[in-house]
Amino acid sequence: MRQLIRGRVLDFHADPRDSEDNHRFWEDGAILIEDGRILAVGDHADLAREGLAEIDHRPHLILPGFIDPHIHFPQLQVIASWGAQLLDWLNTYTFPAEAQFADPDHAARMAGLFLDQLTAHGTTTAVAFCSSHKASAEALFTAAHARDMAMVAGKVMMDRNAIPAVHDTPQSSYDDSAALIAAWHSKGRQRYAITPRFAITSSPEQMEMAGALIRENPGLHLQTHLSENRDEIDFTLSLYPEARDYLDIYDRYGLLGPRTLLGHSIHLETREIDRIAETDSRPVFCPTSNLFLGSGLFDAEGLRGRGITSGIATDVGGGTSWSMLTTLAEGYKILQLQGQKMHPLTAFHWATRGNALTLGLEAEIGTLAPGSAADLVVLDPRATPAMALRAERAETLAEELFILQIMGDDRAVTQTYVAGRPCKQLRASAGISPP
Ligand code: GUN
Ligand code: ZN
């Protein structure tokens, strides 16, 4: 069925830091969709037809749905765990919570709730770490496929330095990943990401297996963590004494490249930055997590100055918000601490087309170009009384966007469309039992 979605429509075709001609905005705009895809975008007057179904979101803004390129599916009950930095936090809170995902029933229930939270916050695609259990990835792919929601996900490979309930082995991690790739990669909108958690929890034998998987499946994404925390770096280098630095561990096993996502990438040596640029690997900035775990400040402009493409992500549950708006707000503050600036146009580009470019998926998601998926977020810059008050003095689109960036959260998301289907109100709070 053809349908028109009407509102104040905005999307980006260039990075605002590269070009003044970077976005398109229709004050009375519309997006024509059919079978989950965008057919056309433009002025409402040009697209409206007698008899065409229409949903009117005016005066709210309609943008491409947000993309979250680093999040942990089994940590939705780990968010807001007190008083630890990375390694303690993993041992005290995270590994025990992830152990529960061996149970397919638990994983299935959590998968529905995970996707509900994403869409409630306006996120239509995520790149997710699952637990080490094959069942956790199966549960997430099954739930996302049923909603026609684009996910990039993988079962975590981790065979040491955690607790037995979350350990796999080099062979089982290879076998389970290969079986999941065969079952799920390219099924509908699902994509598999090879997922060695980080060097601390993978033996050299397991790193070999990750290298074999990427050689055997060249177009796949690979996600891991890099240089998040000083104690983590010291421990990592003691486990791989032959490596020149942290990044070199991944490099030696052939894990770097334009489809490789390096979560955090904070405390980098000059040689590591050179090598990230050379291999076109993709750091991912996780602002709320980096502040919450006391990890450090991501050098966004420094990396960009080297021609490196970075993503921006929530990292729930080290991250403290599911909202890409809140993530952009905290990102803004981290840049401020380093004398750097994130303009609101840059921020909204980053959470949409920018993250799509980081993933190499810009033909499918992140813009409103005809042919793209009809994954949309509808935003209200006056969602709360405090925002409405501030918005009385907003004169430009950039000011409205900045109010959303700094004050917005899921309350500002009035609707989210996944493949053309509205899903926010339908699913909010479904399945959560009261205390
Ligand atoms: N490094 C390895 N595992 C994790 C994780 O689950 N969260 C974060 N923030 N860093 C990690
Ligand atoms: Zn992470």
3-class DSSP state of 143: helix
Residue 98 and residue 42 share a domain: no
Residue 328 and residue 198 share a domain: yes
Residues 6+ apart with CB under 8 A from 34: 1, 2, 3, 420
Within a domain: 12 = yes
The alpha-carbon radius of gyration of the chain (Å, integer) is 21
Within a domain: 359 = no
Phi/psi of residue 334, each to 5°?
A: -65, -40
Residue 25 and residue 76 share a domain: no
Residue 333 and residue 280 share a domain: yes
Among residues 371, 364, 329, the alpha carbon closest in space to that of 350 is found at: 329
| Structural domain span for residue 29 | 3-64+367-425
Give the ligand whose atoms come closest to the C-alpha of residue 131. Answer: 1
Which residue's structure tokens are 């209200």?
A: 380
Within a domain: 349 = no
Question: In this structure, is the dihedral angle defined by the CA atoms of residues 360, 366, 371 and 377, taken in order, positive or negative?
Answer: positive
Write the residue with the smallest CA distance to atom 3 of ligand 1: 197
Residue 310 and residue 244 share a domain: yes
Within a domain: 35 = yes
- CATH code of residue 398: 2.30.40.10
Counting from 1 in the atom list of ligand 1, the atom nearest the Cα of 295 is: 9
Residue 181 and residue 165 share a domain: yes
Best probe residue, ligand 1, of 75, 198, 225, 265 (max atoms within 8 Å of C-beta): 225
Within a domain: 157 = yes
Mean pLDDT of the chain: 97
Counting from 1 in the atom list of ligand 1, the atom nearest the Cα of 263 is: 10
Give the ligand whose atoms come closest to the C-alpha of residue 284. Answer: 2
CA distance 86 to 80: 13
CA distance 92 to 154: 23
The model's pTM is 0.97
Please report, as a single letter, which amino acid is at residue 94. Answer: T
Per-residue pLDDT of the chain (435 residues; tens, 9 = 90+): 899 999 999 999 999 999 999 999 999 999 999 999 999 999 999 999 999 999 999 999 999 999 999 999 999 999 999 999 999 999 999 999 999 999 999 999 999 999 999 999 999 999 999 999 999 999 999 999 999 999 999 999 999 999 999 999 999 999 999 999 999 999 999 999 999 999 999 999 999 999 999 999 999 999 999 999 999 999 999 999 999 999 999 999 999 999 999 999 999 999 999 999 999 999 999 999 999 999 999 999 999 999 999 999 999 999 999 999 999 999 999 999 999 999 999 999 999 999 999 999 999 999 999 999 999 999 999 999 999 999 999 999 999 999 999 999 999 999 999 999 999 864 444 455 544
Among residues 294, 300, 330, 321, the alpha carbon closest in space to that of 405 is found at: 330
Element (H, E) at 345: helix 344-349
List, for residues 216-250, the tens digit of each pLDDT value. 999 999 999 999 999 999 999 999 999 999 999 99
CA distance 408 to 206: 42
Within a domain: 351 = no
Q: What is the CA(155)–ligand 2 centre distance, in A?
A: 13
Write the residue with the smallest CA distance to atom 9 of ligand 1: 318
Q: Number of folded domains in the chain?
A: 2
Query: Is residue 319 within 8 Å of residue 72, measured between CB atoms?
Result: no
Does the Cβ of 72 fall within 6 Å of ligand 1? yes
The Cα diameter of the chain in Å comes to 70
Does the Cβ of 131 fall within 6 Å of ligand 1? no
Best probe residue, ligand 1, of 90, 195, 291 (max atoms within 8 Å of C-beta): 90
Counting from 1 in the atom list of ligand 1, the atom nearest the Cα of 129 is: 6
Residue 45 and residue 77 share a domain: no
- CATH code of residue 212: 3.20.20.140
